[in-house]
Amino acid sequence: MMDNKYLVEVQNLQQYFPVAGGKLFEKKVVKAVDNVSFGIKRGETLGLVGESGCGKTTTGRTLLRLYEPTSRKDLF
């Protein structure tokens, strides 16, 4: 048994996607996830609830490293 407090801990996760349409020399991004933090302990289940487009899927995919996060501070 690990004595870490959390099995998964995420601090200030950000996932910004570059999108077309920025002005010259300006990078336009969609802030799909912006500073999300949570921890999951052994035996716990975390539910992510929110309106369509609020970043639930992107949070999960980034956790699985299907995307490289723009920024994160996490401990596994």
34 forms part of the interface with ligand ADP (CB under 6 A): no
Among 20, 52, 64, 68, binds ligand ADP (CB under 6 A): 52
Q: Are 30 and 17 in contact (CB under 8 A)?
A: yes
55 forms part of the interface with ligand ADP (CB under 6 A): yes
Q: Are 38 and 61 in contact (CB under 8 A)?
A: no
- Supply the minimum distance, in Å, between the C-beta of residue 22 and ligand ADP: 13
Nearest to ligand ADP of 10, 32 (CB atom): 32
- Rounded Cα–Cα distance for residues 33 and 8 (Å): 17
Q: Are 13 and 33 in contact (CB under 8 A)?
A: yes
Nearest to ligand ADP of 56, 72 (CB atom): 56
